[in-house]
Amino acid sequence: MRESVDKFLNYMTVERGVSPNTISAYRNDLSQLIEFVEGLGPEYRNGDGWRGVDAQTVASYLLHLHKRGYSDTTRARKVASAKSMFGFLVEEGIVDNDPTANVSTPRLGRSLPDTLTIDEVDTLLSAPTGYGPETDRDRAMLELLYASGIRVGELVSLNLDDVSLDQGAVRCFGKGSRERMVPIHDHAAAVIRAYLERGRPALARAGSGAALFLNHRGLRLSRQGFWLILKQWAVRSGVHKRITPHTLRHSFATHLLRGGAPLRHVQELLGHASITTTQVYTHLTSEHVRTEYEKAHPRAG
């Protein structure tokens, strides 16, 4: 169970850019949940006990928290931690169902994904200027992320034969090893082609294998490596927003929906197992519609 929690926390740190304080709170909350579950019987201590957790287990845990005198705010945070983790476990295929799906908690405000405007995306993607192997690589990675909406873990896992520039598509393996083909536009394909022709050959070493994106040692670039690269270009771009590895994915989804793309299509592109995961973006697009309405209606404001 703790191994799965470690995977979740690593995902939240590297791909979602969650702060150390929040990660510490997650770890404490989930450690408390593990202690409760393991106390239910030895069957939960063998293998991955998360598969044995059902809605009744969660209800018992909530009662346990109530009996211990935790405030509504604290209980809401602990349940939110469990919800986030089970959402991750379902997406990863570690568990089949989310036992927290029907659990309601006190409303403490909705946390929506950070997004960039189209102009801010253009500014960020234009930051890597000039030529050089690493600049070619960084430009290709940023363009590909925004063109496809793939996760950072999927990006750094790409191999050479996963990219078909002639067809304008990328094959990636998402959570639970689900394979999907994602289209990319011509400009992104051209930037990736330039990296393949100039950048990658200069970075490649004997041990590079089939990895698409390489670090300065010629090895497959890691998620942590990409995080450092992104922070560098975010600072240089001058975009005054917190930009995490997930920001371009969020922006991709939001901009597609605002442009009229059906929710189901965006779900397929993002590789979400459930459309409810994708629906968070409809809140962002609704806010956008409201803002545009207020600007445009002659009697608004």
- Residues recognised as catalytic: 151, 175, 246, 249, 272, 281
Written as one letter, the residue type at 131 is Y
**Can you name the residues that pair with 180 across neighbouring β-strands?**
172
- Cα–Cα distance between 274 and 270 in angstroms, integer? 11
Q: Which two tokens stand for residue 261?
A: 């793309």
**What Å distances lie between residue 130 and 90, 198, 228, 232, CA to CA?**
42, 13, 19, 15
Bridge partners (DSSP) of residue 163 are 170
- Residue 171: phi and psi, rounded to 5, are -100, 125
Give the CA distances from residue 67 to residues 35, 61, 152, 198, in Å, rounded to whole numbers and listed in that order: 16, 10, 41, 64
Do the beta carbons of residue 79 and residue 103 sit within 8 Å?
Answer: yes
